[in-house]
Homo-oligomer: A and B are copies of this chain.
Amino acid sequence: SSSSSSSSSSSSKAQKKKDFLAVYATLRDEIYQDLPNYEMPEDAREWIYNMIDYTCPTGKLNRGLSVVDTFRILIDREPTELEVFQASVLGWCVEFLQAFFLIADDIMDESITRRDKPCWYRVKDVKMIAINDSFIVESIIYKLLKKYFRDEKYYVDLLELFHETTYQTELGQLLDLTSQPSNNTVDLTLFTMERYNLIVKYKTAFYSFYMPVALAYHMAGISNDATFDEALEILLEMGEYFQVQDDALDCYADPKVLGKIGTDIEDNKCGWLVCQALLRATDRQKRIIKDNYAQKDPRKVKRVKAVYNELDMWNVFQEYEEKSYQSLLKKIDNVKDVPKEVFTTFLNKIYKRAK
């Protein structure tokens, strides 16, 4: 398997992304070509074409690409063209699942931009039609699975994995959406590590970390529950680690490097920094956080960040990062059923990331 993985890494990261995007173009065209089977007039066909082009292939594509990467590591030979195509389709199913969630998430969060463009619901003539568009994006997942996996013996496993992961993510979104009072006041008692970890696990880790690997497992013919459980345990921990980084970078990264300006403080987020800060804060510091969190005023944001600095939160984060990294390495070292590389490649992509 080391030869197949080195041959896979011999094609550059940029080339892999290009190949993956070529599969997207094929799938998008097929969806468009299929719409006359539903008697759709040209205006509706173009709407769907433009909508999925705007919302689905415009992210970093890490989740989708990792299905293909993981599959390559799992099999002990060069994959066939068909296998690469099928793994790419599963990768795109994850990206479509994410697009389904993000279209709606941006409406619910009243976000302005996503991936350097206006959020889809803010595009002219779209508005609340975006809700139905998000539904269509979700439906396309099942059209793709039916078209390309119907005859595979793991077809039902794929369907059930998508159903289950979708439900988990929705539960995470619900936790997130109900984690602060709806009138935008600040309730510090809701910023607990327990709730934080729960939100992260359900809202992000299942679909972003476990799902891509589990999909590759199914394609590789793995059917042993224990092997899936082993991956689940590692990948949920990795998902937590990833989200903690995300929250630390939101406050501390250079916006030019990060590619966006963090707004977790303004947005009243149940983030890692505020939860950890509250575990360490004096009554005076708690009062400052309560009075200055969840407001757009840059002076108030600064006051919260000043408390974080008093508490040396960047250092607290770095200690967490090191501890979490070591814990993951140890767990990965115990992996027996699959090449450890499945997890180390994943982990090394995110360890000490700056964006």
Q: Which residues of A contact B (CB under 8 A)?
A: 35, 38-41, 43-44, 47-48, 104, 107-108, 110, 125, 127-129, 131-136, 139, 142-143, 146, 155-156, 159-160, 163, 166-168, 170-171, 173-175, 177-178, 182, 195, 198, 201-202
Contact = CB atoms under 8 A, between A and B. Distances in A.
A139 B172 CA distance: 13
29 contacts: A38-B167, A39-B198, A40-B175, A41-B175, A41-B195, A41-B198, A44-B171, A44-B174, A48-B174, A107-B128, A107-B131, A108-B131, A108-B132, A110-B128, A129-B174, A129-B177, A132-B170, A132-B173, A135-B166, A135-B170, A136-B170, A136-B174, A139-B166, A142-B160, A142-B167, A143-B167, A146-B160, A156-B156, A156-B159
Nearest to A132: B173
Nearest to A142: B163
Nearest to A104: B131
Task: State the copy count for this chain.
Answer: 2
Given A38-B167, A132-B173, A132-B174, 11 more contacts: A39-B201, A39-B202, A44-B174, A104-B131, A107-B128, A108-B128, A110-B128, A129-B178, A139-B163, A142-B160, A143-B167
A93 to B, nearest CB: 13
A46 to B, nearest CB: 10
A272 B334 CA distance: 67
Closest 8 CB pairs of A and B: A142-B163, A139-B167, A108-B128, A125-B182, A132-B173, A135-B170, A129-B177, A104-B131
B136 A38 contact: no
Given A132-B177, A163-B146, A139 B170 contact: yes
A173 B127 CA distance: 14
A44 B175 contact: yes
A142 B142 CA distance: 13
A178 B44 contact: yes
A180 to B, nearest CB: 11
B131 A167 contact: no
A40 B155 contact: no
Contact of A104 (B47, B132, B159, B160): B132
Nearest to A145: B163
Nearest to A43: B178
A44 B110 CA distance: 22
Question: Which of the listed residues A132, A134, A156, A170 has the most CB atoms from chain B within 10 Å of its own CB?
Answer: A132
Contacts of A195: 41
